[in-house]
Amino acid sequence: MNLGDFREDYQRGMLDRAALAANPIAQFESWFREATGDKAQSRWRKIGIALFKLWSALCNHRPPDINAMTLATVDHDGKPSTRTVLLKTVDERGFIFFTNYDSRKGRELTENPNAALTFFWSDLERQVCVAGTVEKLPLAESEAYFKSRPRGSRIGAWASNQSEPVPDRAFLESKWRALEKKFPNDVPLPPNWGGFILKPERIEFWQGRPSRLHDRFSYTRQADGAWKVERLAP
């Protein structure tokens, strides 16, 4: 299958050094608000995004999860793996997501805490790439988030030995029903489930531009905690 003719000339925005926030977390939060449509934008950009979303709805396309991100990890043999997970919080510490600690990603992050994230917002023609190290979220924060999840999802966390082989779907559903009876009221936090914080050491912001002359800026954390900002060739 030849995909050479699948091309897009990006023309929906630009990124200038003077417009960047001093802190990359603040810059990310600004772009995230724009991706959700919460931040004020130009009239024509709003119209363009609204038309794109209308077209997607008419074509019965499901809106993307704005907080979806590709998480890359590496095992003890140096072999990488990726999957899509959901960002649940971003603050001055970094990017927070939740998982089963015994899953493949959980095991790999425990063996090798170096990881990377990628966000791609196609309607804005933007990408954010994050690299750094992870550590487990404090237990109290994991418990607080777990309690906010729907009851079915909390039971599902108990029912799924994530990444392990299962004979069929009926096995999972039977296990879920058994746990539903076991926990008729409160569903406690599983001992092998919780959050990770990816503490960024490098964050890159990419804005698509015409003729492949994209705007790219990287923030690199310095020894004193400050951020060095550089424009990169596309």
Check if 107 is active-site: no
> What does each C-alpha distance from 105 to 58, 91, 111, 144, 171 come to in angstroms?
37, 22, 10, 22, 23
3-17, 41-55, 161-175, 215-229: range with lowest mean pLDDT: 41-55
Tell me which of 169, 212, 216, 231 is the catalytic residue. Answer: 212
Burial of 16 (0-12, 13-18, 19+ CB in 10 A): exposed
**Domain 17-232 CATH class label:** mainly beta
Q: What is the pLDDT of residue 11?
A: 72
Q: What is the pLDDT of residue 83?
A: 97
Domain edges within the chain: 17-232
Q: Is the pTM of this model over 0.75?
A: yes
- Average pLDDT rounded to a whole number, residues 10-39: 88
> What does each C-alpha distance from 71 to 33, 109, 121, 146, 159 come to in angstroms?
21, 11, 15, 21, 23
Q: How confident is the model at residue 48 (pLDDT cuts 50, 70, 90)?
A: low
